[in-house]
Amino acid sequence: MSAAASGDSTRSVHAGRPPATAYEPSLPGPVFVSHYHLPGEPVGPYTYGRDDNPTWDALEAAIAELEAPGDEAATTLAFASGMGAVSAVLLSQVSAGQAVVLPADCYQTTRALQGRLESYGVEVRLAPTAGDAQLEVLEGARLLWLETPSNPELDVCDIRRLADAAHAAGALVAVDNTLAGPLGQRPLALGADFSVASGTKALSGHGDLLMGYVTTRDPELAASVRLWRKTVGAIPGPMEAWLAHRSLATLALRVDRQAENALALARALLERPEVTGVRHPGLPTDPSYPLASRQMRRFGPVVSFTLPDREHAERFLAALRMTSEATSFGSVQSTAERRARWGGDAVAPGFVRFSVGVEDPQDIVADVTRALDAALREAAGGGTGSSQHGN
């Protein structure tokens, strides 16, 4: 069965693994190496540990199969972190005198690259994700950067529409696909030149490693990003690459469960009068739903909502028992945070980003409902009603 014809779970299990060989493991262990035996001319395939590694190759082949099933032209390059991947595309594709368009509401560390880009003589233009507003500042740009759904506010833009407009204007298009993931959305099939993501999140899914990747169909673009990785040394460790590849086997199971759980939580939150601004792209009442349902295949693990103020949000988070208070998202364990504590995002002080795990949905909803009740009781002077903040 070809990769294109296989289902998502089948691809997740088998992607990047070697053919079955007698007495050999189905997924070879990590290769720890800084140099290779290299007689004669340095023509490879492996020459030095910063250039390439068999463990990276297996993971990269697997991700390419998930991002672009059946497309042999697709190439993935793994990085030490999501920001390593983001930086590699932005800094390898844009030069002094050129312009890049970033979402005004994208991940704050991506947006923090504005100062670095401007110090190199690059013009940075900002526009919101919602309403495809980046179209208005596209003229003459070298690169259009999309993030959909956006982090943390979960707005969605039309990848196909924006990619077509960017290409007509002579610009490249990169999509940060972290929140949707390769089983939730395929940016390359929607016209993007790059699909970029943090593998730290749902791709690896266990909250125990840092990883990033870039996938493209264009050999020249792949070569330029590969050279950037080699030059700056933003390479993944072989153990992290192996762990990420091992984790892919359960990817479809995890993201399906997380999407179902996220929708259940979002619906429960709609019933709470003290909760406003509930967002999840899979919620039929969400303003992004009509577009998200056309271009996304799964809606991701994140639900965002707003509580009345900072103090109310802090009481809620402290009262959670099963859910950990942590940054990041996509883990098998539910986590939540008051996003404004970091600064940099234009969100209300009581804005909560909730990453839904794979626990039983009734337990997730019960934990959140109990914590919301406790926060209300404490506000009324009745105590928190919680005994511990579990991990």
pLDDT at 5: 65
What is d(CA 356, CA 332) in angstroms, rounded to the nearest whole number?
8
CATH architecture of 251-379: Alpha-Beta Complex (3.90)
CB 76 within 8 A of CB 209: no
Q: ∠ CA(134), CA(135), CA(137), 5° rounding?
A: 70
Pair type for strands 302-306 and 324-325: unpaired
Bridge partner list, 196: 176, 214
3-state secondary structure the chain: CCCCCCCHHHHHHHCCCCCCCCCCCCCCCCCCCCECCCCCCCCCCCCECCCCCHHHHHHHHHHHHHHCCCCCCCEEEEECCHHHHHHHHHHHHCCCCCEEEEECCCCHHHHCHHHHHHHCCCEEEEECCHHHHHHHHCCCCCEEEEECCCCCCCCCCCHHHHHHHHHHCCCEEEEECCCCCCCCCCHHHHCCCEEEEECCCCCCCCCCCCCEEEEECCHHHHHHHHHHHHHHCCCCCHHHHHHHHHHHHHHHHHHHHHHHHHHHHHHHHCCCCCCEEEECCCCCCCCCHHHHHHHCCCCCCEEEEECCCHHHHHHHHHHCCCCEECCCCCCCCCEEEEHHHHCCCCCCCCEEEEECCCCCHHHHHHHHHHHHHHHHHHHCCCCCCCCCCCC
pLDDT at 44: 82
Burial of 37 per CB tally in 10 Å (0-12, 13-18, 19+): exposed
Predicted pLDDT at 132: 98
Note the pLDDT of residue 278.
98
Q: Where are the domains of the chain?
A: 8-250, 251-379
* CATH 2.60.120.10 assigned to 8-250: no
**pLDDT for position 177:** 98
Instruction: Quote the tokens at residue 257.
Output: 């469960």
Q: What whole-number distance in Å separates Cα of residue 114 and Cα of residue 123? A: 9
Give the end-to-end CA distance of the chain in Å, rounded to a whole number.
42
CB under 8 Å to 183, separation ≥6 — which residues?
Answer: 8, 12, 66, 251, 252, 255, 297, 298
pLDDT score, position 4: 60
CA distance 376 to 388: 17
pLDDT < 70 regions, the chain: 1-5, 382-391
Report the b/e string of 207-220 with b at 16+ CB within 10 A: bebbbbbbbbbbee
